[in-house]
Structure 1
Amino acid sequence: MVVGIRRAGEGDREDVVRLLDEAFMQDPVSSWVFPGEEHRLRMHAGLMEAFFDLALAEGFVDVTEDGAAAALWWSVPAGVPEGEEDGPALLREAVEPANERVELIGRLTDSVHPTDRAHQYLHLIAVRPGRQGEGLGTALVDAVLERCDREGHHAYLEASNARSRDLYARLGFVFMGTTLDLPDGPRMWPMWREPRGVAGGISG
């Protein structure tokens, strides 16, 4: 099946945020950040909107032509930028200042994020419930990975469940060896992908 993909922009904000909110409402990590369902229903979309803004600022957002799936990527340079603003704290302030988990999830993922090589970071990928299993998510990821292979770029992500971990493994991502276990919460799997044809990699 050929899946049409386009680059999203500011005009897609409402539709993409709605898709992310719907797709991740019951995700283990979202449920950890916002443990109560009523609380999550009120606050979750704000976090997804903040993530959309970050992707536009730090990378790009790809969507399928029919709007049923979207992927948020960050283009991450090598090294730790000097004088960088405190992103996790700013995220908490923007989304929900009283919720320390909004900040903590950023700090924990930052702590395991590779810094030695530039890479494309797949931050989030969402497929509309009812459209899963059609290959839309794989098509979105493949489109970027093909470009990474052509241009010699690395890629990175954190899988938030065992099913997605296994899917990403089939796309060439390798578990880095150490899980990220959220306090009293779910497990995440940091995964790294070398461009095809390039030997080596990162091991945990």
Structure 2
Amino acid sequence: MGVAIRRAGEGDREVVVRLLDEAFQDDPVSTWVFPGEEYRRGTHHRLMAAFTDIALGDGWIDLTEDGSSCALWLSVPGGEHDDAEDDGPAELRRAVDPGNERVELIGRLTAGIHPVDRPHAYLWMIGVAPHRQGEGLGTALIEHVLERCDREGQAAYLEASNARSRALYERLGYTVMADRVLDLPEGPRMWPMWREPHRGKR
């Protein structure tokens, strides 16, 4: 049975923020950025809201029709890095949680490993409601874009934040960029993953 997917709009913002907040509450990277369960449950949603706003403005969000899962994507044109963007992580920290330096640090560290020399579709985040995980919704959301990437000859990139998601992405054709693996200070590992377009797929 197919999964109905549509492009999210401003009216879907709160649904997307809630999905991401629930899906990433116990993610290793989220628990590193917001240590302590009570603190995380009171603050984490602000970061997810900021990410949602960026994706709505500069990229796109795919949402399953039933509102159970979403994927945030950015289209990266490739080319030289724009130093004007360097203040982004600091601005995000000021907007989300000024006293938490890890909000800024995670942005700077992931930007540092992100390949920028080639155009690609960047899967920034994907969230599935906890009670719907394991049903293939995340796979359907990703394949929805990868099929287009294959048709158009476009590469794709993401950072896996846990071993389970890494295994899923590998099944979808992503490979770990071993020279860019990121170990967060006193925290978990993140795996940058690249996918070349699969030629001949429609």
Work out whether the TM-score is over 0.5.
yes
Q: CA offset at residue 83 of structure 1?
A: 3.0
Could you tell me which residue of structure 1 aligns to residue 177 of structure 2?
176
**Secondary structure of 2:42's aligned partner:** helix
What 5-or-longer segments of structure 2 have no aligned partner?
A: none
Does residue 34 of structure 2 align to residue 34 of structure 1? yes
1:131 aligns with 2:132: yes
Aligned to 1:13: 13
SS at match of 2:123: strand
| Structure 1 residue aligned with 2:162 | 161
Q: What is the one-letter code of the residue matched to 2:140?
A: A
Query: Going by fraction, where is helix more abundant, 1 or 2?
Result: 2
Query: Could you report, residue by residue, the CA deviation over 1:126-172 in whole angstroms, capped at 9, with x for unpaired residues?
Result: 11011111110000000000000111111000001111111101101
The 1:82/1:30 distance shift into structure 2, 3 A limit, reads closer
Amino acid at match of 1:116: D
Please name the residue that 1:58 is paired with: 58
RMSD: 1.1
How far the C-alpha of 1:86 sits from its partner, in A, is: 1.3
* Cα distance, 1:84 vs structure 2: 3.1
CA distance in 1, matches of 2:154, 2:46: 31
Which residue number in structure 1 is paired with residue 196 of structure 2? Answer: 194
State the distance in 2 between where 1:74 and 1:88 align.
16
SS of the residue corresponding to residue 73 of structure 1 reads strand
User: Following the alignment from structure 2 to structure 1, what is the Cα–Cα distance between the partners of residues 20 and 98?
Assistant: 21
| Amino acid corresponding to residue 184 of structure 2 in structure 1 | L
Q: Provide, for residues 68-116 of structure 1, a one-character-per-residue CA deviation record: whole Å limited to 9, x for no partner.
A: 0000001111121353351111110110111000000000000000010
Distance in 1 between the 2:82 and 2:34 partners?
30
Partner SS, residue 84 of structure 1: helix
CA distance in 2 between counterparts of 1:126 and 1:82 reads: 30
The code of the aligned residue for 2:170 comes to: A
CA-CA distance at 1:57 after TM superposition: 1.9
Structure 1, unpaired ranges of 5+: 199-204
Amino acid aligned to 2:100:
N
Q: Partner letter of residue 22 of structure 2?
A: E
Does residue 23 in structure 1 map to residue 3 in structure 2? Answer: no
TM superposition score normalised by structure 1: 0.94
The one-letter code of the counterpart of 1:163 is R
One-letter code of the match for 2:137?
L
Percent of paired sites with the same residue: 69
Match in the other structure for 2:118: 117
Aligned length: 198
Quick one: which amino acid aligns to residue 109 of structure 1?
T
Deviation above 6 Å: which 4+ runs of structure 1?
A: none
Superposed, 1:35-114 pairs within 5 Å as 35-79=35-79, 80-81=81-82, 83-84=84-85, 86-114=87-115
TM-score by length of 2: 0.95
